[in-house]
Amino acid sequence: MKITRTISGARRLCKATAGPIVLVPTMGALHAGHEALCRQARRIAGPNGFVVVSIFVNPTQFGPNEDLAKYPRTFDADRARCAAAGVDLIFHPSAAEMYPADFSTFVDETAVSSLLCGASRPGHFRGVCTVVLKLFSIIAPDVAVFGEKDFQQCAVIGRMVRDLDLPIRLRTIPTVRESDGLALSSRNRYLTPEERAQAPTLRRALLEAKAAFRAGETRAAQLRKRILKIVSTAPLARIDYVEVAHSQSLQPVRLADRATVIALAVFFGKTRLIDNILLK
Ligand code: PAF
């Protein structure tokens, strides 16, 4: 497995490969969910392909009061996980390498980005799209693999790829969870033991809403109400949003159907957790 910190190094190594290039963009602090992304990338790439993992805590997707400075940086452990998952190259640039002092070009997706997390975190998806487009330009992958936990991110990047005619196929993999249902996230490590004990309520609420839908409840307001009720049983939970929306446009719906996603963001202390469930 090779490691490079420079854009020129990454370009050179990627250009030298004959097989398909599969990219897994990450911000590091890798966990079993990322490992599943890397293994999927390895399967897609096949024995002759080239699997690239980018590890870059992207400053432009953090708001002024968010956790950029304390975001976990665990490069040695990340390197070991990548090696175990069959990764060929880690691209681990510095912020200065990615964003020279006079950097002034950003990518704005203006529809899907404005809802849900985009409404709570203004500028977040602008930062995500900008860095992902840069990664696509540097690595030139045939395929990029993302996790469904970041459902909106997948939708926004899908829109960017379509709108800008990028010759890249996107693949997603299901959310990897702890045994009690909590979606794996690099931010779970911020939770206190009490918050951690209450955090699986989110998954429970989403599953109960899906069960209600299957039992015939299609009114979005009622599904939302059920979720709010269950989440409110966790005294440390503070809801940012719960939305019942179309799974591609992410526009809120009045009546749920099989194309509906329910997505939520909930604070436990300062830690903001997201999760979602597709009703299909
Ligand atoms: O999902 C993430 O870890 C980040 O948003 C991404 C896609 C690597 C861009 O920084």
Active site residue 34: yes
pLDDT at 280: 93
| Ligand 1 close to Cβ of residue 27 (< 6 A) | yes
Token pair in block for residue 90? 């880690």
State in Å: Cα 27 to ligand 1 middle: 6
Query: Looking at the structure, do residues 16 and 87 belong to the same domain, yes or no?
Result: yes
Q: What's the rounded Cα separation, in Å, for the pair 267 and 35?
A: 26
Using alpha carbons, select from 170, 171, 201 the residue that is nearest to residue 183: 201
State in Å: Cα 26 to ligand 1 middle: 5
Query: Looking at the structure, do residues 168 and 190 belong to the same domain, yes or no?
Result: no
- Minimum CA distance residue for ligand 1 atom 1: 26
Report if residue 230 sits inside a domain. Answer: yes
| Ligand 1 close to Cβ of residue 57 (< 6 A) | no
Query: Looking at the structure, do residues 228 and 136 belong to the same domain, yes or no?
Result: no
For residue 110, give every residue at least 6 positions away whose Cβ sits within 8 Å of its Cβ, in sequence order, or none: none
Report if residue 111 sits inside a domain. Answer: yes
Query: Looking at the structure, do residues 30 and 116 belong to the same domain, yes or no?
Result: yes
Count up the domains in the chain and report the number: 2
| Ligand 1 close to Cβ of residue 172 (< 6 A) | no
Query: Looking at the structure, do residues 191 and 166 belong to the same domain, yes or no?
Result: no
192-197, long-range: CB < 8 A, 24+ apart: 192/269, 194/236, 195/236, 195/268, 195/269, 195/271
State in Å: Cα 58 to ligand 1 middle: 8
Query: Looking at the structure, do residues 203 and 156 belong to the same domain, yes or no?
Result: no
Query: Looking at the structure, do residues 168 and 57 belong to the same domain, yes or no?
Result: yes
Report if residue 54 sits inside a domain. Answer: yes
The per-residue pLDDT string of the chain (280 residues; one tens digit each, 9 = 90 and over) reads 999 999 999 999 999 999 999 999 999 999 999 999 999 999 999 999 999 999 999 999 999 999 999 999 999 999 999 999 999 999 999 999 999 999 999 999 999 999 999 999 999 999 999 999 999 999 999 999 999 999 999 999 999 999 999 999 999 999 999 999 999 999 999 999 999 999 999 999 999 999 999 999 999 999 999 999 999 999 999 999 999 999 999 999 999 999 999 999 999 999 999 999 999 9
Query: Looking at the structure, do residues 91 and 16 belong to the same domain, yes or no?
Result: yes
| Ligand 1 close to Cβ of residue 61 (< 6 A) | yes
pLDDT at 210: 98
Q: Out of 31, 34, 92, 124, which one is annotated catalytic? A: 34
For ligand 1, pick from 24, 26, 173 the residue to mutate: most ligand atoms within 8 Å of CB. Answer: 26
Query: Looking at the structure, do residues 263 and 163 belong to the same domain, yes or no?
Result: no
State in Å: Cα 161 to ligand 1 middle: 15
